[in-house]
């Protein structure tokens, strides 16, 4: 079992859901990213996604795009990111995965990317721009290495294709809650619940929901149907203030925010247990 498989097996035993924060690696620098990962783990994060800065992101909204631009302006490179992850991964219990463009993986070489990522302590990769039709070579490498390859299903993905993506994924299936790009939303579409229920009938993998989740109300809404909830832009927006304010303050505020979401998730789980 991969580290992600073990996480969700533990969540099933404990009848709880995973809280999965996203941060941009290298924004504002890698030392801050390391400190932030440690803080997220302390405050209830179960799995952390590390966005690899890329000059032409596919589905990221302005908040995450801006964070990529800031990191690239600091000349953050993949070698630096792997080195920073290798330093922080042994000290946190939550699995770490990258959100990474396939072009970066392809440029490194598929075998080399997976080997280097595992050596750094990473448990998997989310590759949003990798078509399921073209994912076979990377899937084979990841399966041999027990390295999770997480793929995305969106609200507009045709049913048969969504099933194919779910069958091709390992670790978990990333369900995109809204049509469009990443970013905080005041409200989420109510049809998410039915869409996830339909997808769940075709896969035994955990289904984790991302895009737009930023409030305790969102957590309470989605906890009954999701195995994990992914929070990105709301965290990255808070980190953006690190250049103007003391970094210790930013770390505490982000940690408090994640702790509030974790508390909302635990409350939703308790309510679900009482209903059963």
Burial class (CB in 10 A: 0-12, 13-18, 19+), 161: middle
The answer to whether the CB of 43 falls within 8 A of the CB of 252 is: no
Question: Measured at the alpha carbon of residue 17, what is the angle toward residues 95 and 233, in degrees to the nearest 5?
Answer: 70
Q: How many CB atoms lie within 10 A of CB 117?
A: 26
Distance CA 41, CA 29 (A): 19
Annotated catalytic residue 60 = yes
Collapsing DSSP to helix, strand or coil, 92 comes out as coil
| Catalytic pick among 60, 198, 241, 271 | 60
Q: Contact at 8 Å (CB) between 10 and 18?
A: no
Cα–Cα distance measured from residue 210 to residue 248, given in angstroms and rounded to the nearest whole number: 27
Give the span between the Cα atoms of 236 and 246, in whole angstroms.
16
Burial class (CB in 10 A: 0-12, 13-18, 19+), 236: buried
The active-site residue, picked from 29, 39, 46, 49, is: 49
CA-to-CA dists, residue 42 to 39, 70, 240, angstroms: 5, 26, 21
Contact at 8 Å (CB) between 166 and 199?
yes
How many CA atoms does the CB half-sphere of 258 hold within 13 Å? 34
3 CB contacts (<8 Å, ≥6 apart)?
95, 123, 124
Which residues have a catalytic role annotated? Answer: 49, 60
């Amino acid at each position: 079992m991969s580290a992600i498989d073990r996480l969700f097996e533990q969540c099933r035993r404990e009848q709880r859901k995973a809280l999965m924060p996203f941060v941009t690696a290298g924004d504002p620098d890698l030392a801050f990213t390391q400190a932030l990962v440690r803080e997220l783990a302390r405050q209830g994060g179960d799995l952390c996604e590390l966005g690899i800065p890329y000059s032409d992101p596919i589905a990221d909204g302005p908040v995450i795009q801006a964070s990529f631009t800031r990191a690239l302006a600091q000349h953050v490179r993949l070698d630096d990111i792997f080195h920073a992850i290798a330093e922080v991964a042994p000290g946190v219990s939550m699995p770490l995965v990258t959100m990474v463009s396939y072009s970066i993986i392809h440029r490194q070489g598929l075998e080399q990317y997976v080997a280097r990522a595992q050596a750094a302590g990473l448990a998997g990769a989310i590759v949003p721009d990798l078509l399921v039709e073209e994912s076979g070579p990377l899937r084979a490498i990841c399966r041999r290495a027990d390295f999770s390859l997480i793929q995305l299903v969106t609200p507009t993905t045709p049913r048969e294709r969504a099933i194919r993506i779910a069958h091709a994924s390992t670790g978990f299936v990333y369900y995109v809650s809204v049509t469009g790009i990443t970013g905080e939303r005041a409200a989420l579409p109510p049809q998410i619940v039915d869409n996830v229920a339909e997808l769940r009938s075709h896969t035994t993998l955990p289904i984790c929901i991302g895009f737009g989740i930023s409030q305790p109300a969102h957590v309470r809404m989605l906890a009954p149907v999701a195995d994990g909830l992914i929070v990105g832009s709301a965290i990255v927006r808070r980190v953006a203030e690190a250049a103007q304010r003391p970094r210790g303050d930013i770390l505490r505020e982000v940690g408090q925010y994640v702790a509030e979401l974790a508390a909302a998730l635990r409350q939703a789980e308790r309510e679900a247990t009482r209903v059963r």
